[in-house]
Amino acid sequence: MLALGASVVSAQSASSGGFTREDIQLRDDLIAAQETLLNVYRCQFGLDIEVVPGGCTGGFPAQGFSRPAEFKGIPTSEDIAVRDRLVAAQETLLNTFRCRFDFEIYARITPDGCPGQAQSEPSLLLALDGLVRPEDLEGDPPPGLITPSGVSVAVLGVNEGRFVVTTPCGSISTVSSGLPLQGVRVVIDPGHGGAYDVGAVGPNGLAERDLNLTLSYAVLNELSSRGIPAASTRNGHYGSLLSVRAAFADALGAEALVSIHHNGPTYRTGNQPGTEVYVQSVSAQQARADSARLGGLLHREITSALSGFDNVAWSRVADAGVLRVLSTRGRDAYGMIRRPTVPAVLVEYGYLSNRSEAALFATDEYIRVAAKATVNAIEVYLNTDRLGTEPTQRPRVFNPARAPSRCNEVVLE
């Protein structure tokens, strides 16, 4: 779940010397991937096409991917610095393209949004004319709210005419109004988020926290279009603690919690998608059965949908499938599986660390197909007793790194 980004950042902070060819390679791979993306933009928007090697055909670079040259010699700190400056310059140029052309998916991954342009949000979040105040209510307060600034929170009660809520960082605060979340059947959890929790990073610079959010928005819109009431644990580029996300789903009494992730790294390859779905094993019996059934349906729909993409060199580990992952203490290893009382699953759609998959994940078509497959599975789970892929017999034993506990509070209204 963590790959390139962390290594690049830690290498940047090294004062001098001690660099390896791998440090160079990491950067050269990123530079080549960003150059490819820039060339795609140039061809798509007909801008600066004279700098695209070989020109454009059909809106894409005629020569396809840019490939890094092999680095020979002994890396110096200057070799690193030159590359880091180039990465930063490319990133700035990419963001300019993203903003200038309002390329929806990319505008969302521009870290601070674009000047003069609101972030694209799912239609659910635009319904802020439905804001209610505690005095508007006849009975109990709703179990959750979307605050006026678009943040999902669990409601603890009402005090002095204000809603008392849990913030994404786990503090107690109050808001004057919000969009009530009532009768929510499904909670979607875009994994990672904020400055301290990037997740995996693809060779094309795509960060897991942003990709998960983009896919979650598409899933929420699809759920909404099928009339399935849903909410998200995170509605923007901010961090939120796992304990808060789990408690939010529990407070809403949802029938399912689906945590959306993209994996990395692995060096193994496969001829089919390496989608992994983690399900609950030590929770209450009914939640455990529901979690396994939902996980099985998600795995079947998602792998079948992703298999429809041609020319993807997939990554896949041997026990990929519907899995119970236990820590060496015998508990569910992942917090988003262990903590919620409601039936929960965590989906790793594929490997963002893999160049070929990262290129796919950056497309609108992937977002559309993956969102549809996810909602197909959720709909079957809610409306039938059908089963999907069987969980693998043997649990995987794994102690994941602890989720970051640093968290910046966001403005609630």
What residues are paired with 136 via a beta bridge? none
Burial degree of 125 (CB within 10 A; 0-12, 13-18, 19+): buried
DSSP 220: H
Which is closer to Zn ion, CB of 191 or CB of 194?
191
Structure tokens at 165: 């809520």
**How far is 407 from 169, CA to CA, in rounded Å?**
6
Structure tokens at 390: 């069987």
Structure tokens at 394: 């043997």
- Which residue type sits at 243? S
CA dihedral over 14, 401, 245, 123, signed as positive or negative: positive
Which is closer to Zn ion, CB of 42 or CB of 261?
261
Which is closer to Zn ion, CB of 199 or CB of 205?
199
- Residue 132: phi and psi, rounded to 5, are -120, 155
What kind and span of H or E run contains 106? helix 104-109
In the complex, the smallest distance separating the C-beta of residue 270 from Zn ion, rounded to whole angstroms, is 20
Which is closer to Zn ion, CB of 314 or CB of 334?
334
Give contact residues for Zn ion (rule: CB under 5 A).
1, 191, 199, 261
In the complex, the smallest distance separating the C-beta of residue 263 from Zn ion, rounded to whole angstroms, is 7
Which is closer to Zn ion, CB of 124 or CB of 279?
279
CB of 392 within 8 A of CB of 321? yes
Which is closer to Zn ion, CB of 134 or CB of 264?
264
In the complex, the smallest distance separating the C-beta of residue 45 from Zn ion, rounded to whole angstroms, is 32
Which is closer to Zn ion, CB of 1 or CB of 80?
1
In the complex, the smallest distance separating the C-beta of residue 101 from Zn ion, rounded to whole angstroms, is 29
> In this structure, how many other beta carbons lie within 10 angstroms of the beta carbon of residue 225?
10
CB of 333 within 8 A of CB of 400? yes
Q: 357-394 in b/e burial notation, b at 16+ Cβ within 10 A? A: bbbbbbeeebbebbbbbbbbbbbbbeeeeeebbebeee
In the complex, the smallest distance separating the C-beta of residue 261 from Zn ion, rounded to whole angstroms, is 4
In the complex, the smallest distance separating the C-beta of residue 278 from Zn ion, rounded to whole angstroms, is 11
What is the widest separation between alpha-carbon atoms in the chain? Answer: 74
Structure tokens at 125: 């979040």
In the complex, the smallest distance separating the C-beta of residue 410 from Zn ion, rounded to whole angstroms, is 20
CB of 184 within 8 A of CB of 229? yes
Which is closer to Zn ion, CB of 199 or CB of 343?
199
In the complex, the smallest distance separating the C-beta of residue 260 from Zn ion, rounded to whole angstroms, is 9
